[in-house]
Amino acid sequence: MTSIILRAAATGALLLTGNLVSAQYYKIDSDDDIKSAAKTLASDLMQYYHGNEYGQTPGILPGPPPAGDYYWWEGGAMWGAMIDYWHLTGDDTYNDIVTQALLHQVGPNKDYMPPNVTASLGNDDQGFWGMTAMQAAEENFPNPPEDQPQWLALAQAVFNTQASPDRHDETCGGGLRWQIPFANNGYDYKNSIANGCFFNLGARLARYLDNQTYADWAEKTWDWVESVDLMDKDYNIYDGAHVESNCTDINRAQFSYNNGVYLLGAAYMYNYTSDPKWEQRVTDLLNATLNVFFPGNIAFEVACEEHMTCTTDMLSFKGYMHRWMSTMTQIAPFTANTVLPVLQTSAEAAVTQCTGGSNQRTCGFGWKSGAFDNSVGAGQTMDVLGAVSSLLIGKSKVPVTNSSGGTSAGDTNAGAGSDTFTNMPTPITTGDRAGAGILTALVLASALGIFGWMSIAS
């Protein structure tokens, strides 16, 4: 299905908002329009980043709270959005900044565990940086200097540290915990996003390197998530559960990035194995995702958007879902006819509400209404950038492997000697909690009153 057909199919959605295309700042009627809109959105997103300025720390957005709004992981997520921006548009304006950022945060063992973020270091936080490094390898982002760690090796280092016996135990029958250091608040929680990042990374390494060991880990992880009902028989994915209850006290909050990370990982497993089982899993999870997170074919963060109780972290999830679902259409092409029209309609809604500020281009978070909602930040801008740039997916190269044009150097021993955090100090405070794991659903408990059965110690 061509992009012209998709754009025509989405026209009706614009009329529902009461805002004609001609009245909005961003136009996405042609590839040139999309590139122009993405260019402006990328520039706006980078206004939130100061790590390349004198005296600032490369790689991170301002934070963590209370020093700023953003936890360490969201920096890693943002660089994934910027690599996609380069890959899809060809604009290399920010490539040097991205490279500096990704290399500055690798840590002394080159495994994305820098000591200065230990107090808020989750498997999911590390996983986001690892997935961005994997993306850099798959999209042939310019390689670092030879004396620096390479993209593929960094992805392998993250995977290897997370596959280590130190990260796995028999509580709940397996699975990764949310936090890495045992003294961190949240170490007693096993959640979908931590295991989803590990699953996703394993599936992608299996395809890139044609290595069954990674695939075996990915399948084992998917099976565990199903076994503890974090993914139910209807393919709803829930946030997590505590080890004290043997993972029976499931927090049933649903977040779009969980579905996105498992969808993309399942697509890679399908691509690597050609197994009908994975095709069915992709199909079923896709149907559940569209049903829960795309009412009216417009991305909606179901756990928090209606009453705008979203935390800073949650405000960035829709963009990852858009980006990962668009890549899925390349890795599992049988999904394209279903997914691309939905992403088109959702992107049209996203740009229609970018009417804030004196220049009438500031984007909010609630896309469904078509009206600017005064919710602004890096996550909100990243969401729209992801939705808009992903419209070019049909013109972009399919993610490569090491046998189909990949140039990034790997290291099977990457991550050896990483810190196991066996001698940690006293537990951290609530203000130090990591961002990517959603124990932040506590905010929802007070605002919505729907997760009252959660009990998490401060």
Residue extents of the structural domains in the chain? 3-448
The reported pLDDT for the residue numbered 73 is 98
Q: Taking residues 314-336, what's their average pLDDT?
A: 98
- List, for residues 353-371, the tens digit of each pLDDT value: 999 987 789 999 999 999 9
Instruction: Please give the Cα distance from 109 to 84 (Å, whole number).
Output: 27
Lowest mean pLDDT among 142-151, 286-295, 440-449: 440-449
How far apart, in Å, are the Cα atoms of 439 and each of 156, 193, 382, 445, 448? 27, 11, 22, 10, 15
- Domain 3-448 sits in CATH 3.30.70.360: no
The reported pLDDT for the residue numbered 422 is 52
The reported pLDDT for the residue numbered 358 is 79
Average pLDDT, the chain: 89
The answer to whether residue 443 scores a pLDDT higher than 60 is no
- List, for residues 244-257, the tens digit of each pLDDT value: 999 999 999 999 99
Q: Taking residues 27-54, what's their average pLDDT?
A: 97
Q: Taking residues 2-18, what's their average pLDDT?
A: 38
The answer to whether residue 75 scores a pLDDT higher than 50 is yes
The reported pLDDT for the residue numbered 64 is 94
Lowest mean pLDDT among 24-38, 84-98, 286-300, 425-439: 425-439
- List, for residues 377-428, the tens digit of each pLDDT value: 999 999 999 999 999 999 999 999 999 999 999 999 999 878 777 544 333 3
- List, for residues 167-220, the tens digit of each pLDDT value: 999 999 999 999 999 999 999 999 999 999 999 999 999 999 999 999 999 999
Neighbour-count burial of 420, counting CB atoms closer than 10 A to its CB (0-12 exposed, 13-18 middle, 19+ buried): middle
The answer to whether residue 35 scores a pLDDT higher than 90 is yes
CB within 8 A of 50, min separation 6: which ones?
56, 62
Percent of the chain with pLDDT over 90: 84
The answer to whether residue 337 scores a pLDDT higher than 90 is yes
The answer to whether residue 303 scores a pLDDT higher than 60 is yes
The reported pLDDT for the residue numbered 454 is 28
CB within 8 A of 279, min separation 6: which ones?
270, 332, 334
Instruction: Please give the Cα distance from 113 to 95 (Å, whole number).
Output: 23
The reported pLDDT for the residue numbered 23 is 53
Most confidently modeled range among 4-8, 273-277, 360-364, 443-447: 273-277
Q: Taking residues 21-30, what's their average pLDDT?
A: 77
The reported pLDDT for the residue numbered 424 is 40
The reported pLDDT for the residue numbered 80 is 98
The answer to whether residue 439 scores a pLDDT higher than 80 is no
| pTM metric for this prediction | 0.89
